[in-house]
């Protein structure tokens, strides 16, 4: 064999050897994942990057700003745009199911290591209302009571417990309110409910709030009672009037208590100039708080749903959920994983009652967040008008229900 022929054969073999990894790289499955928040900058805390390493599936993350997120996803589903994994908000889940925009996950779950029985009850209840499992919650943020321990000490009042009643809360709020010489309020007993916690009060007072079987707003006597109570507390100066001022009265020491989301723990951390802790929201007719999350879903236009599921399965598994909890400060909707406490914010050193989070998970539901934002926003505006005496609480509730029926169409 001539030297030229040998050289030619060697060249061919070298090219073939080089082509192997290229072909392998091209064969690597790739999926897109759409979310509203940026991935963690720390590679170890970037759950999507870790999912890539664990599954061998390339994950291309697309971030849509939170203010545009819901509308953009609705456009994608309506236009059948190419998409793979979408983290869908509660308010869009039912609409996407009805539009055949996302796939059922039940067949995948039947063969999965994910223990469906370990999910908090709210997950099963939501899936039951949809007729199948279309999404898995990436976390389960709750609503809780924040309180200023220094103010409780000064007033000689025992700290809130996870068994506090609504009557306990009202009595403490009255006693913790501090007045100026002219009768105006110096320190409020509690902040006014915000967009989220109005619904916590309405639900605790006995109303269903959201019916997953038909997607309807369900409020009545419970809402009337809670709005009436808040209107009286505003009149007495125990709660502030509704305002466009977005200042946080609790963190500034202007309110002794506040009903807020658990995600606020990470914001407060060790930054508040007073001792503070948390508790479960007080029990009225029942214990109630709304859970907040996004759901991992697979788009009906996904070209490789098996690869998409492989990524979701990792993200919902022990490693993915642990990373998410440490990164976001939100507990998992899987009880065994949540119990490990990876979500506890290390900087919040004053918190002793971490059980408030796990107990809130147990009584939490996917409630008002499953309704269109316009419906719930309109209702809260009416509730706030009632606290100012501009409309009777019962009329505010009635008008909110009418608007919901007209908007949703029932």
pLDDT at res. 364 = 93
165 and 311 inside one domain: no
Question: How many domains does the structure of the chain reveal?
Answer: 2
273 and 303 inside one domain: no
Task: For residue 102, give the DSSP letter.
Answer: B
Task: Give the CATH number, domain containing residue 240.
Answer: 3.40.190.10
Residue 83: inside a domain: yes
Q: Measured between alpha carbons, how far is 109 from 204 in angstroms, rounded to an integer?
A: 33
Task: For residue 368, give the DSSP letter.
Answer: G
Residue 10: inside a domain: no
pLDDT at res. 213 = 84
90 and 182 inside one domain: no
231 and 115 inside one domain: no
Residue 63: inside a domain: yes
CA nearest 309: which of 36, 74, 33? 33
What residues contact residue 222 under an 8 Å CB cut-off, 6+ apart? 202, 203, 204, 205, 206, 207, 285
Quick one: angle between helices 197-204 and 373-387, nearest 10? 80
Query: Within 13 Å, how many C-alpha atoms sit on residue 354's CB side?
Result: 15
Q: Measured between alpha carbons, how far is 383 from 377 in angstroms, rounded to an integer?
A: 10
CB 273 within 8 A of CB 17: no
DSSP codes, 33-48: EEESSPPPSSGGG-HH
pLDDT at res. 244 = 82
- pLDDT block averages, 10 residues each, the chain of length 410: 52 52 64 96 96 97 95 96 96 93 96 92 82 93 97 98 98 98 96 96 98 92 98 98 90 98 93 97 97 96 98 97 91 93 94 96 92 95 98 98 96
Q: Measured between alpha carbons, how far is 48 from 50 in angstroms, rounded to an integer?
A: 5
Residue 395: inside a domain: yes
Residue 54: inside a domain: yes
Residue 12: inside a domain: no
326 and 362 inside one domain: no
Range of the domain at 184: 143-290+352-407
Q: Measured between alpha carbons, how far is 223 from 386 in angstroms, rounded to an integer?
A: 11
Task: For residue 116, give the DSSP letter.
Answer: G
388 and 258 inside one domain: yes
121 and 147 inside one domain: no
Rg (CA), the chain: 25
Residue 20: inside a domain: no
CB 357 within 8 A of CB 262: yes
Q: Measured between alpha carbons, how far is 160 from 259 in angstroms, rounded to an integer?
A: 13
169 and 44 inside one domain: no
40 and 148 inside one domain: no
108 and 216 inside one domain: no
362 and 311 inside one domain: no
CB 204 within 8 A of CB 166: yes
208 and 123 inside one domain: no
CB atoms within 10 A of CB 380: 20
pLDDT at res. 150 = 98
Residue 272: inside a domain: yes
């Amino acid at each position: 064999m001539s030297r030229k022929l040998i050289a030619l054969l060697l060249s061919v073999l070298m090219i073939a050897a080089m082509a192997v990894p290229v072909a392998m790289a091209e064969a690597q499955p790739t999926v897109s994942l759409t979310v509203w928040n940026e991935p963690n900058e720390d590679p170890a805390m970037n759950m999507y990057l870790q999912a890539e390493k664990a599954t061998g599936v390339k994950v291309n993350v697309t971030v849509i700003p939170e203010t545009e997120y819901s509308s953009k996803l609705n456009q994608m589903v309506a236009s059948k745009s190419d998409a793979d994994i979408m983290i869908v908000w509660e308010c869009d889940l039912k609409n996407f199911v009805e539009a055949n925009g996302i796939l059922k996950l039940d067949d995948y779950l039947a063969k999965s290591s994910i223990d469906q029985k370990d999910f908090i009850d709210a997950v099963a209840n939501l899936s039951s209302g949809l007729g199948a499992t279309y999404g898995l919650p990436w976390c389960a943020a709750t609503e809780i009571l924040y309180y200023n321990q220094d103010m409780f000490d000064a007033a000689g009042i025992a700290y809130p417990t996870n068994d506090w009643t609504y009557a306990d809360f009202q009595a403490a709020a009255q006693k913790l309110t501090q007045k100026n010489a002219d009768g105006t309020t110096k320190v409020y007993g509690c902040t006014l409910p915000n967009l989220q916690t109005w619904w916590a009060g309405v639900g605790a007072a006995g109303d269903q709030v959201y019916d997953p079987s038909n997607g309807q707003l369900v409020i009545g006597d419970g809402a009337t009672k809670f709005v009436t109570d808040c209107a009286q507390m505003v009149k007495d100066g125990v709660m502030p009037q509704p305002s466009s001022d977005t200042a946080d009265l609790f963190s500034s020491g202007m309110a002794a208590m506040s009903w807020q989301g658990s995600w606020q723990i990470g914001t407060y951390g060790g930054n508040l100039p007073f001792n503070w802790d948390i508790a479960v929201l007080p029990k009225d007719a029942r214990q109630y708080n709304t859970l907040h999350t996004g759901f991992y879903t697979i788009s009906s236009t996904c070209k490789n749903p098996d690869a998409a599921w492989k990524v979701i399965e990792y993200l919902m598994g022990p490693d993915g959920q642990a990373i998410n909890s440490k990164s976001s400060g939100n507990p998992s909707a899987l009880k065994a994983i949540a119990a490990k406490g990876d979500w506890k914010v290390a900087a919040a050193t004053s918190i002793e009652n971490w059980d408030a989070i796990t107990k809130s998970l147990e009584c939490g539901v996917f409630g008002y967040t499953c309704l269109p934002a316009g419906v719930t926003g309109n209702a809260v505006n009416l509730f706030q008008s009632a606290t100012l005496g501009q409309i009777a609480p019962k009329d505010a509730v009635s008008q909110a229900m009418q608007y919901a029926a007209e908007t949703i169409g029932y």
